[in-house]
Each structure stands twice: as C-alpha cells, then as structure tokens.
Amino acid sequence: MMLRKRVQSFVLLAMCVWPAVAQRTLMSPYSRYGYGVLESASMGGARAMGGLGYGMRSNLQINQKNPASYTAIDSLTFMMELGVSGSVQNLTDGARSFNQFNGSLDYVAFQLPLAKWAAMSFGVSPYSSVGYEYSTSGDYPNYRQNDSVNIVQTYAGDGGLSQVYLGVSFDILDRVAIGANAHYMFGKITHTREVTFPDETYYKTTDQTTYFNVNGFTCDLGIQYHQPIREKDMFALGFTYSFKLPLKVSGQTSTFTNDTLYTDPVGDCDYPMTIAGGASYHWNERALVGVDVSWQQFSNAQFLGETNALYDRLGIALGGEYVHKPNSKKYYENMRFRLGANYANSYVSLGGNRYREYAVMMGIGFPIPNSRTLLNFLFEYGRRDTKAQGDLSEQYFKFGLGVSLNERWFVKRKIK
C-alpha cells in the first residue's frame, strides 16, 4: 500500500511539472529557423560530461538517450531525475552587444525495475526551443524612382517542442541489453515578421505571422553490450536508431498588406532518422570516460512541406567523471567531479552559412549522506556562430542544478 501511494505521488508530480518543462524561455536569433535550437536529451551528471549517454550504463542516474541502459538499475531501487537551469546569453555582431538571462525547468524522469532482467522509465523533456526578437534595417533600390528606400524588418518568435517518453529495457543475454523508447512529441512555434518604411508614405507596413502546432509519435531502439574487465572495470558499447516518422502539423501563414489579408496553410513535417553510438570505460568504480557520436538525417525529412529545407546534423561528445574513493566515510572523497565537451554542426542555414554549436562544461556531484541520492551542479560555456566574418555570434554561460533521487523502495520487510 505504501509503495503504491509513493508511485501515485510521483506520477502526480510528473503531471504537475509537465507544463513547466514545456514552457521554456530562450533568446537566440539562431532559433528562428527549423524547429529552433535543439536541446540535449541528457540528464543528471551526464550533462556535465558533454551529454554522454549512448554507451553509458549507470545505476545512479537515468539515461534516456539509450533505453537499453535502464536494466543497469538495481532491482530494489526507484529513481527520479529533476533538473533546472539558468543561463546568461550574450549576442554580438561586432558593433553591438546584447545580454539576456533565461531560466527553465529542464526535465523530470522516473525509473523503476520490472524484474531482475527488465526495467522501465518515463518522463518529459524538451526537444527544441524558440525565442528571439530583433530588427534589421537597410537601404534597398526604389523601383519607382532612381534612389533607395529605407526598410526596417522586425522579427520575433517563441515556442518549442517537448516530448513525453515511456521506455522499457530487457537483458536478453548475460552481457547484452535491448530497449525501446516511445515518445509523444507536441508543441507550438510562432514566428512574426513586420516590414516598415519609416521614411516613406507611399509604401505600407506588411505584417506576417506563421504558426504551426506539432504532435506525433516517435520511436527509439537501443542496444548495449557491457563487458567486465578484471575485477571492477567495465567496458560498454551502445547504439540507438530512431525511425523517420511523420508528424501531424496544423497551422498557417497570414500576411496582411495593403489592407488585404492572405492566408496559406503550412505543410507536413517528419521526425528525422537518427543513428547514434557511444562507448565508455568505467575504471574501478572511480573513473569513467566516454565518447558519443550521432547523425540526424534532417535533409531527407520534410519540414513544413519541403524536403531538403534542412541539413544533416553531426554531433560528437566527450566526457568523464572521477570520484576519489566511493563509499568512503570522508564526505569529500565521495564527491564526483565531471568534465566534458561537445560539438555539432547546425541543421539549418543562415544566409547560406551553417552555424556551429560547441560547448565545454564541468560539474560536481554532491552525495546526500546515508543515501545514494546526488545533487548535481553544472557550469557550461557554449557558443553558436558561423565562419563568416561579421555574422552574429552568440555565447552563453549556463548554471544547472539536478537531483538524482535513488531510493530502495522494493525491499520486503521482515518482522522478527
């Protein structure tokens, strides 16, 4: 009875924080294109290790990046992950600079065993974020006269996509685990554009708004091979495959100019096929190093009815963790120190130039006394820019806090 009440309480918690995860804040002109800025699917301490996950197996944190990892959980344990973050963003084009602070609830997830050879996980996390507001101005040829006209264009957008997932994992051989995640993706994205002519009376302002709602199901398959080496070392290798699947899209583009309103429906979208893999080496329960590589085939997926509107995205992540002496009576010897870095090319183009995303991060995991629960602190520095001189450059400093709750719930009590 007590166990059932606990599970019901945490399910209720997930339903309460669902809207908060879906409502993220961002201020990045790079989010104007495609689905916006893509978010990392990593949780807990893995966020400070470059976002590792495909080849990681851990009984201390949830790893939704590879559903095959769920069977690493202790068969008596219930786990929960909750993460929040805040970031300071700086935008500059060489001549002007702008700063913005944003904060958000990043994810919430739960995991529990089904048997000694099976486990499940469920939760909600962001897929992409959109948020920007900026203006550009310039002189353009006036076709009615032999001079130029000054045009000011103002752009704004908000929204993003979130995903709820349910995953299961099974040990099919002594060293092999498989798993699958089913995602329900949902969200709304809105873009607005206003064109004004401050020095002209003949030309009229044009307002354009595009919005689209997205919902649909996606699926990830995962496999992991883990091999003990010597007494306490372990090597793990993992792969995932995500299917290209259609998403339901509704929305329209509305253009108001010269006292006339024009509307056009938006086209369909596809979730891109994704192939990813990773490897990790765990040394004596004290140190962990790993690498991940992922490839997303956006170029073959529809976006608002167009194929080849987006580009394939390649990402790589490196990271590691060190704890001086696990299970030591000295608190500082149980602290976990993490370091990581990642890089990805963008899946969209800005004026013919694709931007780059790269970040370095570090973190510390503070254990809660007399438990296996960890408080995970994250510091991350990242940049988005193109190689073209004079293009907009964005950098951010992110501070994150995560709770990796790890409790033994499924122990049968004996009365003597």
In Å, what is the CA distance from 409 to each residue of 75, 76, 171, 237? 10, 6, 22, 30
- CA–CA separation, 279 and 261 (whole Å): 55
To which residue do tokens 């806090």 refer? 401
**Any domain includes 414:** no
User: b or e along 247-283 (b: 16 or more beta carbons within 10 Å of the residue's beta carbon)?
Assistant: bebebebeebeeeeeeeeebeebbbbbbebbbbbbbb
Name the domain count of the chain: 1
**Any domain includes 413:** no
Residue 29: band (very low, low, confident or very high) from pLDDT cuts 50, 70, 90: confident
Residue 309: band (very low, low, confident or very high) from pLDDT cuts 50, 70, 90: confident
Q: pLDDT at residue 3 above 50?
A: no
Q: pLDDT at residue 13 above 80?
A: no
Condensed to tens digits (0 to 9), the pLDDT of residues 264-307 reads: 899 899 999 999 999 999 998 899 999 999 999 999 999 998 88
Give the model's pLDDT for residue 2. 47
Give the model's pLDDT for residue 82. 93
Q: What are phi and psi of 36, to 5 degrees?
A: 105, -165
Condensed to tens digits (0 to 9), the pLDDT of residues 382-394 reads: 998 876 655 678 8
Residue 203: band (very low, low, confident or very high) from pLDDT cuts 50, 70, 90: confident
Q: pLDDT at residue 26 above 80?
A: no
Residue 24: band (very low, low, confident or very high) from pLDDT cuts 50, 70, 90: low
Q: pLDDT at residue 21 above 70?
A: no
Residue 197: band (very low, low, confident or very high) from pLDDT cuts 50, 70, 90: confident
Q: Mean pLDDT across the stretch 16-21?
A: 52
Give the model's pLDDT for residue 11. 55
Q: Mean pLDDT across the stretch 308-336?
A: 92
- CA–CA separation, 406 and 199 (whole Å): 64
Q: Are the C-beta atoms of 301 and 269 separated by less than 8 Å?
A: yes
Q: What is the DSSP letter of 389?
A: T
Q: Mean pLDDT across the stretch 51-73?
A: 94
Instruction: Quote the domain boundaries for residue 319.
Output: 2-408
Q: Minimal CA–CA distance to 109: which of 63, 72, 59?
A: 63
Q: pLDDT at residue 163 above 90?
A: yes
Most confident of 23-32, 315-324, 362-371, 407-416: 315-324
**Any domain includes 205:** yes
Q: Mean pLDDT across the stretch 111-130?
A: 93
State what percent of residues in the chain have pLDDT above 70.
88
Give the model's pLDDT for residue 110. 94
**Any domain includes 65:** yes
Most confident of 111-115, 203-207, 392-396: 111-115
Condensed to tens digits (0 to 9), the pLDDT of residues 225-255 reads: 999 988 789 999 999 999 999 999 999 999 9
**Any domain includes 99:** yes
**Any domain includes 227:** yes
For residues 109 and 144, which has the higher predicted lDDT (pLDDT)?
109
Give the model's pLDDT for residue 258. 78
User: b or e along 379-410 (b: 16 or more beta carbons within 10 Å of the residue's beta carbon)?
Assistant: ebebebbbeeeeebbbebebebebbbbbeeee
What are the start-end ranges of the H helices in 127-175?
none
| Mean model confidence pLDDT for the chain | 87
Least confident segment among 10-19, 156-165, 245-254, 315-324: 10-19
pTM for this one? 0.87
CATH number at residue 58: 2.40.160.60
- CA–CA separation, 399 and 409 (whole Å): 31
- Count the Cβ atoms, other than its own, within 10 Å of residue 345: 14
- CA–CA separation, 282 and 311 (whole Å): 35
Q: Are the C-beta atoms of 48 and 378 separated by less than 8 Å?
A: yes
Q: Which helix (H) or strand (E) holds 10?
A: helix 2-22
Q: pLDDT at residue 75 above 90?
A: no
